[in-house]
Structure formats: C-alpha cells, structure tokens
Amino acid sequence: MMKRVVHKTHSFKEAEEWDIKQQINMTPRQRMDAAKKIRERVYGKNSIDIREYHERNKKKQFFS
C-alpha cells in the first residue's frame, strides 16, 4: 500500500520542485506501482497492459 503524502507550497514553482524531488527519490519499482494504481483507478482492474495489446495485435497482423 502506498502512503499518501500532502505537502502545501506557496507557489507553483515550489510545488513543481517538490514533485520532481519526490519522483527522483522513488525507485523505479515505486514509480511503476504508482502508475499501475493510477491506471487501475482510471480504467479498472481488468484493463490490459498496452504492451499486451500491441503484442496481441502484432500476432493478428502477422496471420492476416
């Protein structure tokens, strides 16, 4: 489970700098997990990964 963090800033520039620092401090696995959670929230848990989609379509085009 990801921990939610709230950070108040006084300007958009400060907010952007904080956001960049947060992303730099995350491991690649943490960034992938965050992206997966966002995808599940937006598209649902049964959505296929874009790589799976393209792999399936490659096979269809090859056999057509």
pTM value is 0.56
* pLDDT number for residue 60: 64
CA–CA distance, 33 with 35 (Å, rounded to integer): 5
Question: By C-alpha distance, which of 44, 17, 18, 20 is closest to 31?
Answer: 20
CA atoms within 13 A on the CB side of 50: 4
Helix (H) or strand (E) holding 14: helix 12-25
Amino acid code (one letter) for 49? D
pLDDT in tens, 31-47: 999 888 888 999 898 88
Model confidence over 4-22: pLDDT tens digits?
788 899 999 999 999 999 9
